[in-house]
Amino acid sequence: MEKTIAPFRRKVRTNVKETLKKKRPLWLSKLIFMFTILGPGLITASADNDAPGIATYSVAGSTYGYKLIWIILVITIGEVVIQEMAARMGAVTGKGTADLIRERFGVKISTFAMICLLIGNIATTIAQFAGVAAAGELFGISRYITVPIAAVVMTFIILKAEYKYVERVLLVLCLASLSYVAAVFAIKPDWLEIGKAIITPSFQLNGPFLVTMLAVIGTTITPWGIYYLQASIADKGVDMKEYKYTRIDVGFGAAWGNIISAFILIVTAATLYVAGIAVTDAKEAAQALQPLAGNASTILFSIGLLGASLLAVSVLPLSTTYAFCEAYGFERGLNRKVKEAPVFYGLLIVIMVIGSLVVLIPGAPLFTMMILSQTVNAILLPIVLVLVLKIANNKQVMGKYTNSKLTNIFAILITVMIVLVTIALFFEPLLNKIV
């Protein structure tokens, strides 16, 4: 592949023999080896804790306490299974998801899948700009200042700047989300109560609960994450001989990302829910960090929110344009001139413009937009999952590396669960009358 989205992905080169040969203490060698194999899987899972992710878990914890923490455990298993499936498809075929869907199902179904991806990704891009606006408003800076500046600056960085240096800064800012880990130990929640909530799933047949539940699912397992991870594995040239290390990367990444997610929910439940504060904006969400940071909680929260938003804004629109151009064979790549790849550059600009303009609608509720964007992701997710499942079980494509029965069972159960919750959401008034 020519110069594609690879510069935007952290490429980790694994050399097991060299790592183990160097004279170091055994524990240090193992630690270094672990970091050498972590790559796209960890990045994809960590991206779950972007601005809409933080907003979703904050709303879930502050509104329903620990009632939704069980779903994080379920979707952690689901994420491991689904992301492993995408990674394996990339390693076996050397192709991205969009490419395989077009080859196996034709243009019509490929177009339908791409429309779903575009809807979900544009909604998520809007949510990222909502995160930028929310971070600015914590300091009294109008969204009409922060959002246009962010849109222009990030577009310039994507097209012209040395992104790898900017990415490092944004990744450091995102580390502010680790404050929730420290906050958990500062507030000392009731772990027995948390344990009971995990093993005794709670469910409410009402619109707000179902929307929040879908948002928690949709911010963790995303259509764009599937496309992104598979393309990353294909771009790295991973083959099945070294795939076992990629599997570790995917499993560890999903577990780590969702530990942070669970801690966000736990902190907001233990601080805001017990105080009767249901999060509706960034100012209220920031209060969850007061036991750890005191008056600096607003600064800490806004830094994490801004860093997560800008990092996603710099990657998500670009990955969307690559997937679209891959599906239809258009020229793509930042090394191409505008005349050579008009669709690539045009779609990138359109996504950035739509994402920023929607947030500038007067009175647009920022946190609501972030939650609903993730609900949309969850509703569209089964469409992508069904197509990916069919490809992953196709012996002509995957050879001897088709899904195991256990993988199929977990993936199908997750798909069915999302479909059932979606049906319950749309038919909730009628179901309540029946019940």
What structural domains and CATH numbers belong to the chain?
Answer: 52-240+280-434 (1.20.1740.10)
Nearest to 167 by CA among 348, 6, 56, 13: 6
* Residues 96-117: tens digit of each pLDDT: 899 999 999 999 999 999 999 9
Contact 130, 51 (CB under 8 A): yes
Tokens in use for 76? 């952690």
User: Does residue 142 register a pLDDT over 80?
Assistant: yes
- At 342, list the tokens: 């008009």
pLDDT tens for each residue of 26-54: 555 554 544 444 555 555 555 567 889 99
**Do 356 and 147 contact (CB within 8 A), yes or no?**
yes
Length of the chain: 435
Got the DSSP string for 141-173? --HHHHHHHHHHHHHHHHHTS-HHHHHHHHHHH
pTM attached to this predicted model:
0.85
Q: Which pLDDT score, from 0 to 100, does residue 265 have?
A: 95
What integer pLDDT is reported at residue 163 of this predicted model? 53
Percent of the chain clearing pLDDT 90 (strictly above): 50
Q: Concatenated DSSP letters for 55-107?
A: HHHHHHHHHHTTTTHHHHHHHHHHHHHHHHHHHHHHHHH---HHHHHHHHHHH
In this predicted structure, the answer to whether residue 241 has a pLDDT above a threshold of 90 is no
Distance separating alpha carbons of residues 218 and 267, to the nearest angstrom:
21
Region of residue 3 (phi > 0: left; psi between -120 and 50: alpha; otherwise: beta): beta
Interval 357-364 mean pLDDT: 94
Q: pLDDT value at position 431? A: 62
Average pLDDT (341-370) is 93
Report H helices in 237-296: 243-268, 282-286, 290-293
- pLDDT exceeds cutoff 90 at 270: yes
327-338 pLDDT, tens per residue? Answer: 888 888 777 888
Asked whether the predicted pLDDT for residue 134 surpasses 60, the reply is yes
**More confident call, 341 vs 18:** 341
Least confident of 68-77, 203-212, 420-429: 420-429
